[in-house]
Structure 1
Amino acid sequence: MPAPKRPTVPSWRSPRRRTSVVLAVLLAVVGIPVLTALFGGYERTGGGEVAVVRNGGFFDNNRIRQVIDPGSGRTWIGLYSKVHKYPAQQRFYTITSQASKGDESGVDVVTVPSSDGVNMGIEGTLYFTLNLDHATLRSFDDKYGTRKFRGADGDMHYAWNGDTGWSAWLDQIIRPVIDNALRSQVNSFRCAELVSSCALVQNASATVPVKGAPAQSNNANINKVQTAINTSLAADLNSTLGGTFVTNIHFNLVRVELPARVQDAVDRAQAAFAQVSEAQAKVASARAEAAANKARQDGYNKCPTCARIEELKALPQGITVYAPGNPNGSLFGR
């Protein structure tokens, strides 16, 4: 009698198969994240950026671990660390009425009043560089790299979140300091001292009459404003930011413009002055012509022969007989 057959064990329940499945699961659950973390534990920076690295492991704190200088090679930053990259090259912040060139969306002009109450639009560019000192960068990241700022798109961004985040930080932190510096300096000048055409629409009640005021150099006054801004802006930024986080600060004042209604009034005044000047030129020409005619007639009165000579010179070509005083005609041609 043949021996009974043993029941067949499914291949997936075999010890070797079970071991393979367990190893695959362990590799998927543990191995892949570990390998990813190991490969992700290296970082490098480009030539125009600097990085502040913070701890970020499961059992680690969130303190700053290190600072990576611009243009570095691959650097070990630890497992699951967070990297905050900031611009290391010179940056600029542009304020302009040209919607496609300003740092804020749309038309962007700082409007500040002059000492005589005329709102003036200021356009310019602020140039600066982020301080790359490691201790300063650590302090900067503690103050501004750990919170978000509202951007032009209405969303919240970190300062290290690319150009969008950096622009959001500039708009909320740097821009108010620029506005305050411009307001303080422009308010010490009259409108006509910065824009000469403003004198055309000066109020009649102005304390300094336009005709009696000495000539002003607009360029010289604009340079005074620019110099004063550059002198005070560095101290204002350091005070506002809470540290020397930006260096090589320079503000270039590009243009001072009048409000649209004031500029329209200036254009109308200039057109009116042009018409007056044209009329005055015509009057002067008529007076000069009359004076010339009078002088010519006085000469003829003193020298009748000279008058006859001039009269003969004025005759048309081809005249052979000239009979002055003849009522039937005085000119006979060939």
Structure 2
Amino acid sequence: MPRRRTAIVLAVVLVVVGIPVLDALFGAYSRTGGGEVAVVRNGGFFDNNRIRQIIDPGSGRTYVGLYSKVHKYPAQQRFYTITSNSSKGDETGVDVVTVPSSDGVNMGIEGTLYFTLNLDHAALRTFDDKYGTRKFRGGSGDTAYAWEGDEGWSAFLDQIVRPVIDNDLRSQVNSFRCAELVSSCALVQNTAQVTPVRTGQGAQPQSNNGNIAKVQNAINTSLAQDLQSTLGGNFFTNIHFNLVRVTLPSKVQDAVDRAQAAFAQVSEAQAKVASAKAEAAANKARQDGYNKCPTCARIEELKALPQGITVYAPGNPNGSLYAGK
């Protein structure tokens, strides 16, 4: 009986003490894949919570200490997409940055920000101190740490990086007029701002590719500086913003479509007028020729007779054509 009681006590001790110890021993090792980097923080019962070490991408199994916390971040190039396609944007639903042009037209900006997390160990330590120890609210309403998978990383980008992108887009787009970025905008501008309609044509559309390139280049220059200033460190490298599309509000676009349809109708009417004038000129020239050469007119008249006519009597009041074999 005592031996049985001793066995039960030993089993309880093994369960209560042994399993946690084994779990801690197995959890004291970690490794990273090729596309992730890890920041390790102390987490023992009698330990502090400071950063212990950095594990570079693609490492082997590494000892990180008992009860340490491993924060894994993406080490490869990442991107943040802003688009009207609800299935492709980083935020849920239709996601477009709406900013005003210099002449007050709200314009939708779509594009993609490409960047890479700075893998310098000192930068990673600072980044984890600033943004790895707090949670961020994602599009679903749930909160997560930046190192808790794609959901946590996206929540961090939405709350910290997205406002910087919006501000840069607003600053750069506001220096251009609507027609300088979307040429069709000239069709519905105030009459004081566009060329008056002449011969059915409105304001001549401008080539806006160069202006869009200027906006994109300006954003690429300012965005890196603004991100470093706002985030408090050089945490991102290889920053590049690709401006994909500039759109007009639905009501403005509808007005553009109506204006283009109206100009198309004017062009069609002008084409008909030009065709009629050309036909009248041809008829006049033809008649002038007949007046100078009556014989030529008679020959043309004979050529116009239907086939099968053998007798032609132009002076017959009952009819001038007789069919025969």
* TM-score, normalization by structure 1: 0.93
What's the secondary structure of 2:21's corresponding residue? Answer: helix
Q: How far apart, CA to CA, are the structure 1 residues paired with 2:267 and 2:206? A: 23
2:153 — aligned with what?
166
Which of 280, 283, 290 does residue 280 from structure 2 map onto? 290
Q: Cα deviations across residues 11-62 of structure 1 (Å, max 9, x unaligned)?
A: 2xx2x22322222222112111111100110001111111100000000000
2:167 — aligned with what?
180
2:26 — aligned with what?
39
Point out where structure 1 has 5 or more consecutive residues left out of the alignment.
1-10
- 2:212 counterpart of 1:222: yes
Tell me the CA shift for residue 213 of structure 1.
Answer: 7.3
Q: How far apart, CA to CA, are the structure 1 residues paired with 2:9 and 2:22? A: 18
2:221 — aligned with what?
231
Contact 2:101 2:174 in 1 (8 A): yes
Which of 145-154 and 212-221 deviates more? 212-221
- 2:142 counterpart of 1:155: yes
1:4 — aligned with what?
none
Matched letter for residue 48 of structure 1: G
What's the secondary structure of 2:191's corresponding residue? Answer: coil
1:146 — aligned with what?
133
Contact 1:226 1:252 in 2 (8 A): yes
Q: How far apart, CA to CA, are the structure 2 residues paired with 1:179 and 1:200? A: 28
Contact 2:41 2:50 in 1 (8 A): yes
Which of 130, 138, 143 does residue 117 from structure 2 map onto? 130
What's the secondary structure of 1:167's corresponding residue? Answer: helix
Which of 281, 289, 307 does residue 297 from structure 2 map onto? 307
Matched letter for residue 318 of structure 1: G
Which of 103, 112, 115 does residue 90 from structure 2 map onto? 103
Matched letter for residue 54 of structure 1: R
Q: How far apart, CA to CA, are the structure 2 residues paired with 1:179 and 1:210? A: 36
- 2:264 counterpart of 1:277: no
Tell me the CA shift for residue 113 of structure 1.
Answer: 0.6
Q: How far apart, CA to CA, are the structure 2 residues paired with 1:240 and 1:214? A: 42
Matched letter for residue 131 of structure 2: Y
What's the secondary structure of 1:153's corresponding residue? Answer: coil
Which of 69, 72, 90 does residue 77 from structure 2 map onto? 90
Contact 1:50 1:68 in 2 (8 A): yes
2:13 — aligned with what?
26
Q: Cα deviations across residues 60-109 of structure 1 (Å, max 9, x unaligned)?
A: 00000001011111100000000101000000000000000000000000
Matched letter for residue 281 of structure 2: A
Q: 1:241 to 1:258 in 2, by over 3 A?
A: same
Aligned residue pair count = 320
- 2:239 counterpart of 1:249: yes
Contact 2:186 2:205 in 1 (8 A): no
Matched letter for residue 175 of structure 2: S
Matched letter for residue 238 of structure 1: Q
Tell me the CA shift for residue 321 of structure 1.
Answer: 1.2
1:318 — aligned with what?
308
Q: 1:210 to 1:98 in 2, by over 3 A?
A: farther
Q: Cα deviations across residues 176-196 of structure 1 (Å, max 9, x unaligned)?
A: 111111111111111111111
Paired residues for 1:187-202 under 5 Å: 187-202=174-189
Matched letter for residue 58 of structure 1: F
Contact 2:188 2:256 in 1 (8 A): yes
Which of 32, 36, 45 does residue 49 from structure 1 map onto? 36
Q: How far apart, CA to CA, are the structure 2 residues paired with 1:268 and 1:24? A: 84
Q: How far apart, CA to CA, are the structure 2 residues paired with 1:38 and 1:112? A: 55
What's the secondary structure of 1:205's corresponding residue? Answer: helix
Q: How far apart, CA to CA, are the structure 2 residues paired with 1:205 and 1:315? A: 60
Q: Cα deviations across residues 98-132 of structure 1 (Å, max 9, x unaligned)?
A: 00000000000000011111100000000000000
1:116 — aligned with what?
103
Q: Cα deviations across residues 274-330 of structure 1 (Å, max 9, x unaligned)?
A: 111111111111111111101100111111111011011111112111111210111
Contact 2:184 2:205 in 1 (8 A): no
What's the secondary structure of 2:206's corresponding residue? Answer: coil
Matched letter for residue 271 of structure 2: A
Q: How far apart, CA to CA, are the structure 1 residues paired with 2:7 and 2:313? A: 139
Which of 40, 47, 50 does residue 63 from structure 1 map onto? 50
Q: How far apart, CA to CA, are the structure 2 residues paired with 1:291 and 1:210? A: 30
RMSD: 1.4
- 2:59 counterpart of 1:72: yes
Contact 2:186 2:203 in 1 (8 A): no
Larger Rg: 1
Which of 209-218 and 321-330 deviates more? 209-218
Q: How far apart, CA to CA, are the structure 2 residues paired with 1:149 and 1:28? A: 37
